Amino acid sequence: MDANRTLALFERLVEIESPSWHEAEMARACEAELQDLGFTVTFDGSAEQTGSDVGNLIAHRSGNADGAVAFSAHMDTVKPCAGICVMRVEDERGEVLCSGGDTILSADDKAGVTAIFEGIRSMLEAGGPLPDVWVILTTCEEQSLLGSGALKAADVPQGVDCFVLDADGAPGSVVCNAPCHHTMDVAICGKSAHAGVEPEAGVSAIQVAARAIADMQLGRLDGATTANVGVIEGGVATNIVADACSFQAECRSLFPERADEAKRQMTDAVTRACERAGAHADISWTLDYPEVACAEEDAIVRRAKRAIEACGLSFQAVRTGGGADANCLRGLGVNAITLGTGMANFHATTEYIKVQDLLDDARLVEALIAEYAGS
């Protein structure tokens, strides 16, 4: 790992403005970098689905050893991200990289992208045996995982261990547990009637929805499970008994069977409210992504731990309440987990990353490549 080269690359990538849906310039820079490293670079057809100006980047480089490993990060950032200027300051946090204070830094996730490129470059320079390496860089991650949600199984390396460099937490932390995410769409069909003239002829879809939602267990259901109704709409005017009301809800859990229980309870609440009022409901559930559930003895975690310890970092298994690209990749058959990169205060203009953490991220990518060159 070349420290100066890493810092220069980070600075160059950060200066490319790449808010969600506008990743094309960043994608071109990444394509050039990867081609220079001997990768075959392709873009998938997701742009049409996501509305981004470019697809997800999927790159592959054949190795001369038996193993295979994948790395992933996202190309988009939140705003404000115009004219980001990297400052290197030394204070009580140590030596850190931050923005001028009027923008984010975009270490989320350009620290991840930088570490992947530098880790690969320095391993190529070292000249030892290399595994097959895949790099998957997504668009629109910050938009509820739109980019990775549009990936196709045929385009990604099936069964390959994949390290997604995109979590807060120090280098060495591994997100072993992340919840599955289900979305519920409900359309309640009542019967319209004039609210003043013959209200008894109507069935208020709004009241049915209200009863159903009031009957749902929402919020934090247990230490691993949450549920929420987030959107509701219906009705036309106060003098009309509303014949239609729709709402969207979600539930998440680290344990799929708990998510199934929550789904059942929410579905039953709607069914009961409909029966009581003589209404009808269309209810659909979509699995947005499956859970990440890795035990410390799982092969991918053991290998990550070995690489982490080889770098002199300390391994830490963490769990999160949010989804990440790793969840979507898992849904497509890629064995993905997320690694902490040291990014701090992400999505805020006070975002920063310690210089040492950025360098350790690149060293960790090196160590992971070495780990997978053996098998």
Question: What CA–CA distance (Å, rounded) separates 222 from 224?
Answer: 5
Q: Is 132 in the site for Zn ion (CB under 5 A)?
A: no
Q: Tell me how far, at minimum, the Cβ of 341 lies from Zn ion, in Å.
A: 9
Taking the CB of residue 58, how many other CB atoms lie within 10 A of it? Answer: 23
Whether residue 21 contacts residue 372, with contact meaning beta carbons closer than 8 Å, is answered with: no
The one segment of 12-20, 37-45, 105-113, 268-276 that binds Zn ion by CB under 5 A: 105-113
The one segment of 23-31, 77-85, 162-170, 353-361 that binds Zn ion by CB under 5 A: 162-170
Is 76 one of the annotated active-site residues of the chain? yes
* Interface with Zn ion: number of residues (CB under 5 A): 3
Nearest CB to Zn ion, comparing residues 236 and 348: 348
Q: Tell me how far, at minimum, the Cβ of 135 lies from Zn ion, in Å.
A: 16
Nearest CB to Zn ion, comparing residues 70 and 216: 70
Nearest CB to Zn ion, comparing residues 22 and 258: 22
The correct pick among 44, 166, 243, 361 for binding Zn ion (CB under 5 A) is 166
Q: Tell me how far, at minimum, the Cβ of 130 lies from Zn ion, in Å.
A: 27
Nearest CB to Zn ion, comparing residues 123 and 326: 326
Is 268 one of the annotated active-site residues of the chain? no
Q: Tell me how far, at minimum, the Cβ of 74 lies from Zn ion, in Å.
A: 6
Nearest CB to Zn ion, comparing residues 44 and 142: 142
The one segment of 56-64, 76-84, 166-174, 308-316 that binds Zn ion by CB under 5 A: 166-174
Nearest CB to Zn ion, comparing residues 10 and 247: 10
Q: Is 168 in the site for Zn ion (CB under 5 A)?
A: no
Question: What CA–CA distance (Å, rounded) separates 157 from 131?
Answer: 13
Q: Is 109 in the site for Zn ion (CB under 5 A)?
A: yes
The one segment of 30-38, 161-169, 184-192, 204-212 that binds Zn ion by CB under 5 A: 161-169
Whether residue 364 contacts residue 352, with contact meaning beta carbons closer than 8 Å, is answered with: no
Q: Tell me how far, at minimum, the Cβ of 148 lies from Zn ion, in Å.
A: 11
The one segment of 45-53, 153-161, 165-173, 290-298 that binds Zn ion by CB under 5 A: 165-173
Nearest CB to Zn ion, comparing residues 111 and 262: 111
Q: Tell me how far, at minimum, the Cβ of 191 lies from Zn ion, in Å.
A: 47
Question: Exactly one of 23, 31, 108, 141 is catalytic; which is it?
Answer: 141
Question: What CA–CA distance (Å, rounded) separates 276 from 212?
Answer: 10
First to last CA, the chain: 23
Q: Tell me how far, at minimum, the Cβ of 113 lies from Zn ion, in Å.
A: 11
The correct pick among 76, 108, 291, 357 for binding Zn ion (CB under 5 A) is 108
Nearest CB to Zn ion, comparing residues 163 and 247: 163
Q: Which residue from 4, 57, 47, 67 is spatially nearest to 27, judged by alpha carbons?
A: 57
Q: Tell me how far, at minimum, the Cβ of 89 lies from Zn ion, in Å.
A: 23
Whether residue 114 contacts residue 124, with contact meaning beta carbons closer than 8 Å, is answered with: no
Question: Exactly one of 17, 23, 44, 76 is catalytic; which is it?
Answer: 76
The one segment of 49-57, 104-112, 126-134, 348-356 that binds Zn ion by CB under 5 A: 104-112
Residues within the interface to Zn ion (CB under 5 A): 108-109, 166
Q: Which residues are catalytically annotated?
A: 76, 141
